[in-house]
Amino acid sequence: MTDTTPATETLHDVTVSVNGVRHSAAVPARRLLSDFLRHDLELTGTHVGCEHGVCGACTVLVDGQPMRSCLMFAVTAQDHAITTVEGLCSAPDARTAPTGESMNPVQQAFAECHGLQCGFCTPGFLTTVTAYLEENPSPTSEEAREAISGNLCRCTGYQNIVKSVLRAAEIKAERAEERA
């Protein structure tokens, strides 16, 4: 991306903690957080759909809260802690696809319940639902629908996503019990 930046544009040194690792890059002020993650940091797990806040595919956690990364500038994210879909699993390298036990409860539930087909919208659902279950660990089916109402999916018809949210809550509780 930087090679297409006009030479006249001022660059800002932006340092952001992403998935617990500090990253820095020099970017123009207009660099969206979504593009900063994908192009500058090469963390392409965050997907970009509509780029105006409607589809939810680019949702990341900013200081633990789900926000649209396409509706934030990288310069504004300076010194904040970002969690992307790569940071949800416990795999040693965040860029490795999660497998087995390294998946977080939401990822495991989406795999079990067929909560995705093409997978384009999935990173936004996973981050949104992960944060939601921190707030409400045992949602009803109705609450699960409300929780995912800000994310669009063109494949599944949502039924399996709702099941995945409910299953994720179960898995989370089971894992907490095992650890206890």
Partner 1 sequence: MKPAPFEHHAPLTVEQAVSVLTEVGHDGKVLAGGQSLIPILNMRLASPAHLVDINRVAGLDTVEVTPEAVRVGALVRHAGLERSAEAYAALPLLRQALVNVAHPAIRNRGTTVGSIAHADAAGEMPAILALTDGVVEVAGPSGSREVAWSDFFLGALETSLAAEELAVAVRFGRFPAGTGTAFTEAARRHGDYAMAGVGVALTVADGVVSGARASFVSVTDVPSVLDLGPALDGVEPGSGEWDAALDTVAEAVRGHVEPEGDIHASADYRRMLVTELTRRVLPQAADRAGAIA
Q: Which residues pair with 14 in a beta bridge?
A: 25
Residue 113 tokens, joined: 């319940």
Identify whether the C-beta of residue 84 lies closer than 8 Å to the C-beta of residue 75. no
Query: Which member of 9, 13, 101, 170 binds partner 1 (CB under 8 A)?
Result: 9
Return the HEC string of 148-168. CCCCCCCCCCCHHHHHHHHHH
As a whole number of angstroms, the distance between CA 106 and CA 139 comes to 13
CB of 97 to partner 1, least distance (A): 25
Q: Is 126 near partner 1 (CB under 8 A)?
A: no
Task: Pick the closer one to partner 1 by CB: 53 or 119.
Answer: 53
Site size with partner 1, rule: CB under 8 A: 31
Segment 19 to 78, residues that bind partner 1, using CB under 8 A:
28-30, 32, 35, 51-53, 56, 59, 62, 65-68, 70-73, 75-76
Alpha helices in the chain (DSSP H): 33-35, 74-77, 105-112, 122-135, 141-147, 159-179
Chain positions contacting partner 1, by CB under 8 A:
6, 9-10, 12, 28-30, 32, 35, 51-53, 56, 59, 62, 65-68, 70-73, 75-76, 128, 132, 146-147, 149-150
